[in-house]
Amino acid sequence: MRKNIVAGNWKMNNDLEASKLLINNLLQEFPSKLDASKRIIVAPTFVNLYPIVEITQNTAIEVAAQNMHFAQSGAFTGEISATMLKGIGVNIVILGHSERRSMFNETDEMLVKKVESALQNKMEIIFCFGEMLEDRKSGNHFNVVEQQLTNALFQLNESAWKQIILAYEPVWAIGTGETASPEQAQEMHAFIRQIVSKKYSQELANDVSILYGGSMKASNAKELLSNSDVDGGLIGGAALIAAEFTAIIKSM
Ligand code: PEP
């Protein structure tokens, strides 16, 4: 079911103490469950997942992992599996973030396997995708986005989409301070909904939450989130500051 979602990706920031401080500040603002149409998610580093899961139990805040391996277990030094995440109460995973794609060579083929593993383990997926600056400059951004979705998600059956949240993140806007304009975001989100509708159905496309990510902050959140096809945000830098993240959530 389509919901408004604000998700904070803490990336490789915040040690345990800083993570607890941040989450406790957020919980002061959002102590109890929100109405059913809205969700707040945070994604701490792997080592801080369990303490944050414990602190946020029965609160408005849900916890996601930033990545996972596609295998259930085995000789994959340094990796974490879906079953391990589920075992500590993490039911959501971010997959396909541009930093994973560009710095850790994550390919569409690997993402297909990760998506499959997350679905098998009944996890929700925040699936990230988006074009590079050169794609946008050359006018190829719609093709790139369609290709990324086709390669990693369009093999799924309809029922799997209940576990998918899309996060359109133009790479040129991530961590750069440069944000897509509300018009650019709406145009791309409407396109995404249209291609999901063409592949599956209008009903399914209407049900999918599509988040925008890329330098969203308190000062631009309202404008971005007021677009009819922008259902929320995936936030990096601004998610590390309680007052900023709180203001973004309140704009939702
Ligand atoms: C992100 O990394 O997903 C992101 C959107 O980062 P930032 O908000 O810092 O651009």
Domain ranges within the chain, ordered by starting residue: 4-250
DSSP letter at 157 equals -
Residue in 126, 168, 174, 230 to alter for ligand 1 test, most ligand atoms within 8 A of Cβ:
174
Task: List CB contacts of 238: < 8 A, sequence separation 6 or more.
Answer: 216, 217, 218, 244, 245, 248
Determine the pLDDT at residue 178: 85
**What percent of the chain shows pLDDT beyond 90?**
94
Q: What is the distance between the alpha carbons of residues 17 and 157, in angstroms, rounded to a whole number?
A: 42
CA-CA distances (angstroms) from residue 235 to 137, 194, 239? 24, 24, 6
- Which pLDDT score, from 0 to 100, does residue 207 have? 98
* Residue 217, both tokens: 């902050």
Q: For residues 47 and 15, is the Cβ–Cβ distance under 8 A?
A: no
pLDDT less than 50: residues of the chain: none
Task: Report the separation in Å between the CA atom of 215 and the middle of ligand 1, taken as the mean of its atom positions.
Answer: 6
Question: In testing the pocket of ligand 1, which one of 98, 133, 165, 215 has its CB within 8 Å of the most ligand atoms?
Answer: 215
Identify the pLDDT of residue 38.
Answer: 96
| Closest ligand 1 atom number to CA of residue 128 | 3
Cα(75) to centroid(ligand 1), Å: 31
Give me the phi and psi of 194, to 5 degrees please.
-65, -40
Can you name the CATH fold of 4-250? TIM Barrel (3.20.20)
- Cβ-count burial of 197 within 10 angstroms (0-12 exposed, 13-18 middle, 19+ buried)? middle
According to the model, what pLDDT value does residue 69 have? Answer: 98
Please report the pLDDT score of residue 34 as a whole number: 86
Dist CA 208 CA 104 (whole Å): 28
Q: To the nearest 10°, the Cα dihedral for 169, 170, 176, 177?
A: -80
Candidates 226, 166, 227; CA nearest to 200 is 166
pLDDT at 146: 98
Alpha-carbon distance of 233 to 213, in angstroms, equals 6
Separation of alpha carbons 149 and 213, rounded Å: 16
Intra-chain end-to-end CA distance of the chain, in Å: 17
Q: Which residue in 227, 121, 112 sits closest to 168, CA to CA?
A: 227
CA–CA dist 145, 142 (Å, integer)? 5
Closest CA to 91 of 21, 51, 41, 128: 41
Residue tagged active-site, from 97, 99, 106, 244: 97
Q: What is the pLDDT of residue 23?
A: 98
